Amino acid sequence: ALAEKISTLPEELRRSLTWDQGKEMARHKSFTVATDLQVYFCDPRLPWQRGSNENTNGLLRQYFPRATNFSHVSQDQLNAVALRLNQRPRKILDFETPADRLQKVLQ
């Protein structure tokens, strides 16, 4: 599913993926072959090596608590949360939204 989603991104955004040491990327070599995207791993117990990801996880927890069973969450619900987060101004982006910044990158 991740390979399918990644392939829908513009090529400028598909340079690499940095992952933690979890089992969900055990097949990272086949993922790399399927997507031509290099996968890197952060060091164990050093979440700041993936700071924007950790921040996004915190934002997602506002909508989906840690114990959420995602088999009961619809794609429409996921899309609605993604839209809200992508339209939320961020201090790190000089109070632009991620959607605004993405449009600038793609122009």
Model confidence over 33-56: pLDDT tens digits? 889 888 888 888 887 888 888 888
Q: Which helix (H) or strand (E) holds 17?
A: strand 16-19
Centroid of chain to Cα 14: 12
Assign residue 81 a region (left: φ > 0; alpha: ψ between -120 and 50; beta: otherwise): alpha
Q: How far is CA 26 from CA 51, 57, 91, in A?
A: 22, 21, 34
pTM, to two decimals: 0.74
3-class secondary-structure state, position 18? strand
Q: What tens digit of pLDDT does each residue of 2-42 get?
A: 888 888 888 888 888 888 777 777 888 888 888 988 888 88
Which CA distances in Å does 57 have to 1, 33, 38, 82?
19, 27, 22, 12
Q: Give CA–CA dist 94/46, Å, rounded.
A: 26
Going from N- to C-terminal start, the domains of the chain cover: 1-41, 46-106
Do residues 32 and 2 make contact, with C-beta atoms less than 8 angstroms apart? no
